[in-house]
Amino acid sequence: MLIDSMYPKSFASDNHAGVHPTILEAMAAANHGDAPAYGGDTWTSTFEEKIKAAFGPDAEGFAVLNGAGANMVGLALMLGRYDAIICADSAHIATHEAGAAERLLGVKLMTVPTEDGKLRPADIKSRLGGIGNTHESQPSVVSISQTTELGTTYSPTEIAALAKTAHESGLRLHMDGARLANAAAYLDCDLKAITADAGVDVFSFGGTKNGALAAEAVVVLDQSLAHAVPFLRRQSLQLASKMRFISAQLSALLTNDLWRQNASHANQMATRLADGLKNIPHVSLAHPVQSNAIFATLPPTTVAILQQRYLFHYWNETTGTVRLMTAFDTTPEHVDDFLNDLAKATAH
């Protein structure tokens, strides 16, 4: 289904949003003259400095092309050929990356069922029984998503507890940070509080879902791993030739807290939408709203009517749960129009 004038605003994904004007300006500013390829440019140097400013002096940032690629590069740093990854059964690496971890990294995913998308220390411990057994894959990495695929958010304390359990068990902690900005905005903390300060070893910093065009980063906090990233990034087809245009976008997000402004606005629009849904009969929220994602259960006839005007998708067709996403460019008018149409559709 294509978005055109029939669809005033997509609520299907924050990937559907355009590019923030400030980021477009940063790309245009980088588009003058020649610059060395593959990261040997001043824009990439600036981006790397901003990563250290945001996440601490030990943080090493590497620009990549997309979120799945960021996950593969970051995870590859910490895995051997017979290793396994412990993750929630709803994790993006387990559900929406077409088996990339299994195919490209050649490792096993040890998934754990969760109701809210969040792992607990006990979940890690439940997958450690085969350590040392030559007949079983060996857990080496715990991977969490911030925010989770269900829109829930880990607090700094929760992440620290997972890191402690992982490290005490000889594992490292990886974070899929595609919506890391939304989590920090919701928690009203800085980015470092839920990464470096909480004990994360490697994570991705997502830009594409927060106003960028095609810009993600792998951030390595464990200094013993950083030397391998340039080689794995190249091998994983994530080394951009004209990297200055990716680095310029990430630098723009990390300048004057643009990342927070964009994420906070998206979160606020999600809260506005969720508050409105609570007042409509036959509509209920399936999960707490802690980011820019809303999971709501709607009558099937209502969904059919709304999808004639708005783009969004079922998350679970059996339960009637849909996912509604807001973005940096979602306006109060977009939300209110949707709610008005939803109320009419429900009463139809």
The residue range of the domain holding 333 is 259-347
Domain boundary among 195, 227, 256: 256
Average predicted confidence (pLDDT) for the chain? 96
Same domain for 227 and 276: no
pLDDT score, position 6: 56
Domain boundary among 256, 273, 298: 256
pLDDT score, position 2: 44
Say which residue the tokens 């209110």 belong to: 336
168 closest CA partner among 218, 131, 197: 131
Q: If residue 322 lies in a helix (H) or strand (E), which one and from where to where?
A: strand 321-325
Same domain for 121 and 204: yes
Confidence of residue 169 (pLDDT cuts 50, 70, 90): very high
Q: What is the CATH number of the domain that holds 159?
A: 3.40.640.10
Distances, alpha carbon 84 to alpha carbons 6, 96, 111, 281, in Å? 46, 18, 10, 45
304 three-class SS = helix
pLDDT tens, residue by residue, 319-329? 999 999 999 99
Determine the Cα–Cα distance for residues 196 and 87; give it in Å rounded to an integer.
Answer: 20
Determine the Cα–Cα distance for residues 84 and 314; give it in Å rounded to an integer.
Answer: 31
Confidence of residue 3 (pLDDT cuts 50, 70, 90): very low
Q: What is the CATH number of the domain that holds 268?
A: 3.90.1150.10
pLDDT score, position 1: 40
pLDDT tens, residue by residue, 150-159? 999 999 999 9
Let me know if residue 7 belongs to a domain. no
Q: Evaluate if residue 50 carries a pLDDT over 80.
A: yes
Q: Evaluate if residue 4 carries a pLDDT over 80.
A: no
Same domain for 64 and 195: yes
Same domain for 242 and 268: no
Sign of the CA dihedral running 48, 52, 57, 58: negative
Let me know if residue 14 belongs to a domain. no
Q: CB neighbours (10 Å) of residue 58?
A: 12
Let me know if residue 12 belongs to a domain. no
Domain boundary among 229, 256, 283: 256
CB 176 within 8 A of CB 145: yes
Determine the Cα–Cα distance for residues 255 and 54; give it in Å rounded to an integer.
Answer: 10
pLDDT score, position 293: 98
253 CA to centre of own chain: 15
Look at the chain and report how many structural domains it folds into.
Answer: 2
Q: Are strands 202-206 and 83-88 parallel, antiparallel or unpaired?
A: unpaired
Same domain for 278 and 205: no
Same domain for 269 and 231: no
Same domain for 169 and 100: yes
